[in-house]
Structure 1
Amino acid sequence: MNIFNKVTLQGMIKSRTRTIVTIIGVILSAAMITGVATFGVSLLNYMVNGATQKYGGWHVEFMDVDSSFVQERIQDDGIANTATFDNIGYATLKGGKNPNKPYLFVAGFSKEAFDSLPITLLSGRLPENSGEILVPAHVAANGGVKIAVGDTLSLAVGSRMNGNENLGQHDLYMPGGKPGKAKETLVPKAERTYSVVGIFQRPSFEETSAPGYTLITKADAGDKADSFSLFVTLKNPRGVDAYTSNTGGNQAYIYNDNVLRFMGVSSDALFKVLLYTVGGIVVAIIMIGSIFMIYNAFNISLNERTHQFGILSSVGATARQLRNSVLFEGLCIGAVGIPIGVIVGIGSIRLVISVVAGNFENVMYSNVPLTLTVSFPVIVVAAAVSMVTILISAYIPARKAASTPVMESIRQTNEVKVESKAVKTSKLAQRIYGLEGTLALKNFKRNKKRYRSIVLSLVLSVVLFISASAFVTDMKQASARAVAFTAYDIGLATQDMNDSEMLPLYDKLKTTGGVYESSYQALMKYSCAAEASDLSDDYWENAGSHSPDDTVHLPMDIQFLDDSAYLNIIQGLGLPAEDYTGPNAKMIAVAKMTNRMKANREEEVDNFINMFKSSSMNFTIAPETNGEPKMEQRQNVSITFVETVPPDTLPILGNSGPQHPFFFRVMVPYSLKEKFETPDTHVAIKGLTFRSKNPAQSVAEMETMIQVAGITAEYKLYNVYEMLDESHNMIFIANVFAYTFIIMISLIAIANVFNTISTNIKLRRRELAMLRSVGMSDRDFQKMMNFECAFYGMRALLFGLPIAVISSWLIYKGMFIGGADNIDFVFPWGSIGISVFSVLFIVFVTMLYAISKIKKENIIDALRDDMT
């Protein structure tokens, strides 16, 4: 070890407190980088395992290959596993409604295929022989053909041909043929009879563009298939592109992108950009905070050693030797701090994962646990990033030390260079602050460069804390709105299901276990012709100028409710049932002025402004088509406006239409729906709603009932309770990681502030000793230092709070553009209060610590010290 390194070690030992605090900062930095990287790897591994469970662990599928190709691939060294099924052939789907999917495709599964390719049964069981078959649910939902468990299928199975070309599942249906070639034809080869033993979800390996619905049977060992579908799992998934290009030849193949994207080898460029961008931003934030803290530590170290460097330079030390001396200090600190930081980071993220693992199961894959995954390459990269952070932090002040002239270093005249005007204070300030405050203010002004780092450290911690708190607040608000706004647990939404099919289905579904309340409804779009004079002044204040004789066509919704649910509303409002039931009954409506229908409890309705002047009026209404009323189909109705909250509607499939600055909904019993149905009526949505004690179990039973019923109309079954539960779990996960991030960044900032303030006080030990030597009492001395604390805190808050508020606003605008989702911007008063208290407390405590050290020193010894 050379003399410069020995001197460096002696200096580190002499300034033990500063060295320890710097090492703590490095530990925090390395822990955060390691924790973020380890969690990222653990999350991606979780996603890979979940996608493997759902879609299968294969990486590439080769379609329509012969047995020799299969045998060659099985012998490949880079193969971890293979699975195949027989391409038995195609049969025409009789009565199919999808013109692009006119076939049934029969696949013969081997035992390996059943084990490797996930099959999600909705009802029934797996086939046990080549005479039994599974039918996918989308044959009914997408193809419009009902096939139930127990049915017998007699199929003329054959091959799709286009001239001499044999077509497979990867080839689109071509009713017109390719240019210059004959039209596609189906050439039957054998008659096969199957017994349907189960209904299952569309398999993941079937492309949405495939021309045949995949039916699965058990492969017959006695049959020799002409072609196969081969599923390959590679030992090194990152080489999947090279593998397919080298071995695939002209064979058609598809990738399992659902699994590969989480391995970082998918063609999904958007996911890659999102993954690396988010990770890069988080690491960049950590590095900026860490570089800032560690840079300050080394800069302060150089201030302490400036005189020493001047002497070394005077006896022949080169700039390179001085620079290496500082970098050696960085390496020593890194050698101690980084290994500890890596261990702390892994341990911390293990604790965090144990807290949130259950919530991840509820959000994503229920049978896949989120576990800690420690990757050696990732740990090496995290350690390297931490070391680079330290070396960058040390190199900047090292260059400054090496370039400082010798005499300036010995005299130490380079740190504080100010003119008298720069530290001049006004007489008003002197009167307000007194002598002690004036001295503190002058010291603050003449050491701007040194104290700027303290202020910036505090500003960084304030901005990060308030911004992250605002993010969590917005997420909680979104979750609370979602919970309050939905009044049912399960919903089935459809547009084209006939009542003759929907109502019998409703009678079955409401008997599902756990269901204790149920209803059905429909929503139609209508237009209401209202006189301008009937509308309230508040309406016209929002809508603009008008003529009193104008007729305004207002879009409105007619909500047809289950008769019993409608009657309960009438009774709850205290209205006479005989006036609001029957063919010529009056209708009730809610018509309020608001930009967003925030009301979700009855007592909140009064907070909104009425659209109409009177509480009961007669109107002419007509069905609305493409935003235009069909007045030739108009009806005259009597509407009573009430103060209640209409039952929640089902989510509208597709585009819900334009938004209006008012809420106008009429409630009508379902038995009167036919009265309002016309050739131009558009049913926006209809369906069923349920409340259940166990929504998950009820939904599973309902899915089976729907499949057994053979429903062919398009529908969506919503487990709203599960969606809200997922929202809660995601909020919890976001909270855990947001607050963990806040705490660790704040700890780095605290270490930075502590290191900077305490060392700066030590550098002023001779100056402070001089003040005490000329008669400044301990009380006045403490008062002066208290003023310095206040100046630090006020300056940090002056810059930090406005930046933090702006950052919180930008986060709100980014998350909820235009105030969508009924989310209001919440001014972060609470986090601001915590920040103000924390900043002043941290500065005050740090100053007390440093001053206690100074007070213990002998004044004469401090005045003699020429190493400051």
Structure 2
Amino acid sequence: MKKNIVFYVTRQYMKQNKGRTFTTFAGIVFMVLLMTCVFVGRDTGIYYLQDVASLKNGKWHVSMYGITSEEYEEVREMPNVKETALSAAFGSTMFGASANPERPYLNLKAYSAPCFDWMNIKLSEGRLPENSREIIVSKSAAEDGSDIAVGDLVEAEFFERSITGINSEIKETVFPFQNITIKYGETKDVPEEFPYWGENEDFRENRTYTGQKGTYQVVGIMEPPAYEQMGAAGYTAITLLEDSQAAALETFNLSLILDVENNPDQDIPALLRAAGAGGYEIDVNDYVLAFTASTSDTTLNLVVKFMTVFFVVLIMAASVILIYNVFNMSFQERSRYLGMLCSIGATGRQKRSSIFYEAFFLLVFALPTGVLLGIGVIRLAMAAFRPFIGSFLRISSLVTIDPAVIRISWENLAAVILASTVTVLISAWLPARKIGKIGPVECIRGNIWKKSRQYQMQASFIHMFGAEGMLAKNMLLRRNKKVRSVGSAAAVFLVVLTVTIFGSDAVHRIIRVKMGEEEMSLNTERYDYVLYAGESKLEALKEEIEKDAGVEYTAKWRDGMFAGQVPVDAYGAEYWDALHGVFNLYYHRELSEEEFREEHGFRGGASMPVNILSVDMDTMRDMAGKIGADADRLLDPEQTSAIVLSTGAVSTSSFMIGGMSPEKYRMFRISRMTDMKEGDTVPVSLYSSYEEKEVEVPVEIAGFAETNQLQDYVEFKNNNYMWLIVNEAAGSRMADILRVEGAASSMMDEMLLIRMNGKPTDIIDRLQRASEQDDARFGILETEYQSTMANAVSGIVDVMLFSFIVLTSVICLLNLFNSIRGWRLESRQELAVLRSVGMASGQMKKMLLYECAGIFLWALLLAGVFSGMLIACVRFGLVVIFGNLELPTPWLWIAGAALVVGAVLTGLTLYGFGRERQEELYENMRREGV
């Protein structure tokens, strides 16, 4: 007998059983689809994040400034450098076509060809320069009223700018955005983003001509580059840097793209060492490098790898059970036709090949179908991701709606094919092995696995559940293999839902903890940005900020975390009980009161930290009204009165005891941080470095506030210590005491809260750029940064997990539907006999419900075991990656998932029963129980 006869018979069998064949095919297609989403979708998402991140500063990885030709050759020969591009700044020239008196210059840069792409230079009209005598000019010049156009000529004579202090009566003039301080008689060079001040009494601007001249033709108008600042004195123009020009330059700038995929861990350190030896500046494009797979040792990539492996295993497990169940359900029918072939000479190997042939025949057609469908799903998922990407990278204003490019590589396709092939091989192996061992007589007879067994009537069981319950029990025992298949299918469905729900909840908890839930955060609807700086610099910045057209208002506060100390008895009994509970978890036993006090260090003169927040007078007046406190006492500049935040929290993560690990994570909420009352005085101690002693500042309690009462201005989250809120005059006095000798800062430095009005401005961008300078000594943050980031990441996770649940649920539903179908087909003879002896439809339905209940209980038991193992695995992996976190099991959601699975099981069973009732009674009795 030739092997192709077996394959021919197998194909005929597949044609005769179209429903079963379609179920198997659909299951394999969805398995391939999910594998495509995991492997291709992962790379697509990472590269899309990289593309979006490049909108911030460009596509380059590292930039070096002021390097020589010899240094360039050394860097270019480094093994980790993939591509290079050169640029140079020619300086400033007068721009006669300018229509803005505050921007009279043109700042000319020269780029080698790759730089135009790497720096995101986009044309609004015209073309890019093709030689060193052609330029493109920023569109911002035309927007300011200039009539510059393509074809115009620009005469250039380049100079470098500097300023000199000329007012002997002024000690120093501060330019906070450029981090420049100029004194009388002092001259300093200024960068190209320095504003044009014109004539003034404090300093003069100098122009030092470099001797370079030229006539340039405008060949294009470009969108303003990301680095161009609206407040700069000049507009940006770019020409082509030709090789001959670069060779003639003493120094120039070098941008690099690194070969991070082949050597992810050594590129940046090597370049930094080279930069230190060469003495030139270096800049790293962290936005792009974070998504180039170069950070293989970071949390991001660890999570990606961990979740990739986990989801692949889960998909494979669900698919294996589906395909195995299909073959197992048809085992008896398949064994008959293979037994006939065996009777005329077919070997066990040929019978096994029939199973493998069917599985891989379907896989051949399922692979392209699943991959194409997977690509479609990835496109939809990326479209759903897009609203969150800008927030995730903090560049919402730069993100376009361009669709993501699907990243299909031969490595990804090979992974999809390999994983799918292994899944199908495992699925078909056990049925093929079983059928290959059965002889021809047993196959043809068709009762291989049936056992002769007596089922006794149990009166107590009938009394409890009726005759229908007894029949259901015996039916389940007689069809135990089919029942186990249905139970396994339901269990897989429940496991997928349970583990995914747990994973979703765990990731959201990790996001809330790891995205920086600080003790205090500002109301994002009232304040857009917060700027931290020393007092002298803050005043200079405040003056610049308030006159900007895009700023609605500002407010000055002071934030003093752990600024003061109070006696231990200032904290109340509820606080100490909660902290006692934390210590118990660290010591893994119940500490006595004496042990706790000794371990915490209660001795003579012991004290506890206290946080201090000073707010502006308007805010203090509103806060007093919200809590019903005496506003006059709180606003009195000579009196130190405070609002005390009454609520707080302590946890095993906020209090750590050196060298010890807590038994488990737990947070204790506190409703009353102190037992003191309104009108009492809190003896706050502030350490003065000038006097080298503690200075006591009595603070009168003018009122208590709950967190929600102050949320219009500030939100306190899980604060471990008391907060005292005082007016700005009291805050200033405290800051003076806390000022460190010889330093410009204090433990209670001012912060400037900024509210924008929506008008176009680059004030924030200028502040951010200025704060990134090495000795800037100030910083600016979005007030909504933490919530925006957390919401963005949570949104991405939700989309991913929802997509995964939907797609795996299709596999699970196919599995469950096919299993129930096989179970009902094998039971149709018994059901027909029961109807023939008078069983009513209601009784039949009741019996089926009992059967569903039994199967569901078996599925719950099975799912409980495997879900517990998988949840333990996920919890262990996430704890290893993120640290010791509380990751409880969301029992309520899991109970809901169990109800869904139970409802689907019952619904599909009753649907099958309803269809069978329409068939002829004698036809069902005549059929074989297959």
TM-score where L is the length of structure 2: 0.68
User: 1:44 aligned to 36, 43, 46, which one?
Assistant: 46
1:803 Cα offset (Å): 6.9
Find out whether 1:278 has 2:307 as its counterpart: yes
Measured in 1, the distance between the counterparts of 2:296 and 2:738 equals 47
Q: Which residue of 1 aligns with 2:32?
A: 30
Measured in 2, the distance between the counterparts of 1:490 and 1:758 equals 60
Percent identity at matched positions? 20
Unmatched segments (≥5 aa) in structure 1: 89-106, 156-190, 203-215, 598-605
Alignment check: 8 A CA contact 1:491 1:687 kept:
no
Find out whether 1:668 has 2:727 as its counterpart: yes
Q: Which residue of 2 aligns with 1:289?
A: 318
- Kindly tell me: are residues 665 and 275 of structure 1, through their superposed partners in 2, closer, same or farther at Cα, counting changes over 3 Å? same
Alignment of 1:677-716 (within 5 A): 677-678=736-737, 683=747, 686-694=750-758, 700-704=762-766, 713-716=776-779
Q: Which residue of 2 aligns with 1:212?
A: none
Q: Which residue of 1 aligns with 2:215?
A: none
Q: Which residue of 1 aligns with 2:583?
A: none
Measured in 1, the distance between the counterparts of 2:676 and 2:294 equals 63
- Kindly tell me: are residues 542 and 781 of structure 1, through their superposed partners in 2, closer, same or farther at Cα, counting changes over 3 Å? closer
Measured in 1, the distance between the counterparts of 2:547 and 2:778 equals 20
1:865 Cα offset (Å): 4.6
Q: Which residue of 1 aligns with 2:196?
A: none
Find out whether 1:439 has 2:441 as its counterpart: no
Q: Which residue of 1 aligns with 2:358?
A: 329
Q: Which residue of 1 aligns with 2:327?
A: 298
Alignment check: 8 A CA contact 1:560 1:669 kept:
yes
Measured in 2, the distance between the counterparts of 1:766 and 1:639 equals 84
Alignment check: 8 A CA contact 1:505 1:706 kept:
no
Find out whether 1:10 has 2:12 as its counterpart: yes
Q: Which residue of 1 aligns with 2:425?
A: 391
- Kindly tell me: are residues 738 and 586 of structure 1, through their superposed partners in 2, closer, same or farther at Cα, counting changes over 3 Å? same
Q: Which residue of 2 aligns with 1:506?
A: 542
Alignment of 1:151-170 (within 5 A): none
Measured in 2, the distance between the counterparts of 1:459 and 1:766 equals 27
What SS does structure 2 have at the residue aligned with 1:352? Answer: helix
Measured in 1, the distance between the counterparts of 2:298 and 2:647 equals 44
Measured in 2, the distance between the counterparts of 1:272 and 1:832 equals 33
Measured in 1, the distance between the counterparts of 2:774 and 2:274 equals 38
Alignment of 1:254-269 (within 5 A): 262=291, 264=293
Alignment check: 8 A CA contact 1:307 1:412 kept:
yes
- Kindly tell me: are residues 427 and 714 of structure 1, through their superposed partners in 2, closer, same or farther at Cα, counting changes over 3 Å? farther
1:529 Cα offset (Å): 4.2
Mean CA deviation greater in 820-829 or 436-445: 820-829
- Kindly tell me: are residues 251 and 717 of structure 1, through their superposed partners in 2, closer, same or farther at Cα, counting changes over 3 Å? closer
TM-score where L is the length of structure 1: 0.73
- Kindly tell me: are residues 440 and 80 of structure 1, through their superposed partners in 2, closer, same or farther at Cα, counting changes over 3 Å? same
Alignment check: 8 A CA contact 2:531 2:752 kept:
yes
- Deviation digits for residues 754-793 of structure 1 (CA, Å, limit 9, x no counterpart): 1011012213334444444555444433332222122222
Find out whether 1:720 has 2:721 as its counterpart: no
Alignment check: 8 A CA contact 1:463 1:800 kept:
yes
Q: Which residue of 1 aligns with 2:488?
A: 456
Alignment of 1:362-373 (within 5 A): 362-364=391-393, 366-367=398-399, 369-373=402-406
Alignment of 1:92-103 (within 5 A): none
What SS does structure 1 have at the residue aligned with 2:406? Answer: coil
- Deviation digits for residues 583-625 of structure 1 (CA, Å, limit 9, x no counterpart): 541412325353269xxxxxxxx98225114322134321259
1:325 Cα offset (Å): 0.6
Q: What one-letter code is carried by the residue in structure 2 that aligns with 1:118? A: M
Q: Which residue of 1 aligns with 2:681?
A: 618
Q: What one-letter code is carried by the residue in structure 1 that aligns with 2:406? A: T
User: 2:248 aligned to 214, 224, 237, which one?
Assistant: 224
Alignment check: 8 A CA contact 1:142 1:714 kept:
no
Measured in 1, the distance between the counterparts of 2:473 and 2:877 equals 41
Measured in 2, the distance between the counterparts of 1:689 and 1:815 equals 37
1:751 Cα offset (Å): 0.5
Measured in 2, the distance between the counterparts of 1:727 and 1:379 equals 33
Count of residue correspondences: 766
Measured in 1, the distance between the counterparts of 2:294 and 2:537 equals 46
Measured in 1, the distance between the counterparts of 2:878 and 2:638 equals 48
Measured in 2, the distance between the counterparts of 1:694 and 1:744 equals 42
User: 1:375 aligned to 404, 408, 411, which one?
Assistant: 408
What SS does structure 2 have at the residue aligned with 1:2? Answer: helix
Q: Which residue of 2 aligns with 1:491?
A: 529
Q: Which residue of 1 aligns with 2:216?
A: none
Q: Which residue of 1 aligns with 2:611?
A: 557
User: 2:695 aligned to 633, 637, 658, which one?
Assistant: 633
RMSD of aligned C-alpha atoms?
A: 5.6
User: 1:784 aligned to 819, 831, 847, which one?
Assistant: 847
1:704 Cα offset (Å): 2.8
- Kindly tell me: are residues 343 and 574 of structure 1, through their superposed partners in 2, closer, same or farther at Cα, counting changes over 3 Å? closer
- Deviation digits for residues 786-836 of structure 1 (CA, Å, limit 9, x no counterpart): 221222223324554687699779979987999999999684535633x34
What SS does structure 1 have at the residue aligned with 2:737? Answer: coil
- Kindly tell me: are residues 142 and 671 of structure 1, through their superposed partners in 2, closer, same or farther at Cα, counting changes over 3 Å? same
User: 1:740 aligned to 778, 782, 803, which one?
Assistant: 803
1:330 Cα offset (Å): 0.8
Q: What one-letter code is carried by the residue in structure 1 that aligns with 2:807? A: M
User: 2:159 aligned to 128, 131, 134, which one?
Assistant: 131
Measured in 2, the distance between the counterparts of 1:610 and 1:332 equals 70
Measured in 2, the distance between the counterparts of 1:620 and 1:258 equals 48
- Kindly tell me: are residues 527 and 295 of structure 1, through their superposed partners in 2, closer, same or farther at Cα, counting changes over 3 Å? same
Alignment check: 8 A CA contact 2:688 2:695 kept:
no
Alignment check: 8 A CA contact 2:523 2:783 kept:
no
1:400 Cα offset (Å): 1.3
- Kindly tell me: are residues 387 and 812 of structure 1, through their superposed partners in 2, closer, same or farther at Cα, counting changes over 3 Å? closer
Find out whether 1:842 has 2:842 as its counterpart: no
- Kindly tell me: are residues 337 and 676 of structure 1, through their superposed partners in 2, closer, same or farther at Cα, counting changes over 3 Å? closer
Measured in 2, the distance between the counterparts of 1:818 and 1:542 equals 29
Q: Which residue of 2 aligns with 1:357?
A: 386
Q: Which residue of 1 aligns with 2:436?
A: 402
What SS does structure 1 have at the residue aligned with 2:639? Answer: coil
Q: What one-letter code is carried by the residue in structure 2 that aligns with 1:131? A: F
What SS does structure 2 have at the residue aligned with 1:585? Answer: coil
Alignment check: 8 A CA contact 1:527 1:555 kept:
yes
What SS does structure 2 have at the residue aligned with 1:616? Answer: coil
- Kindly tell me: are residues 804 and 867 of structure 1, through their superposed partners in 2, closer, same or farther at Cα, counting changes over 3 Å? closer
Mean CA deviation greater in 768-777 or 470-479: 470-479
- Kindly tell me: are residues 347 and 619 of structure 1, through their superposed partners in 2, closer, same or farther at Cα, counting changes over 3 Å? closer
Q: Which residue of 2 aligns with 1:186?
A: none
1:558 Cα offset (Å): 2.0
Alignment check: 8 A CA contact 2:534 2:778 kept:
no
What SS does structure 2 have at the residue aligned with 1:609? Answer: coil
Measured in 1, the distance between the counterparts of 2:616 and 2:158 equals 48
Q: Which residue of 2 aligns with 1:315?
A: 344
Measured in 1, the distance between the counterparts of 2:373 and 2:843 equals 43
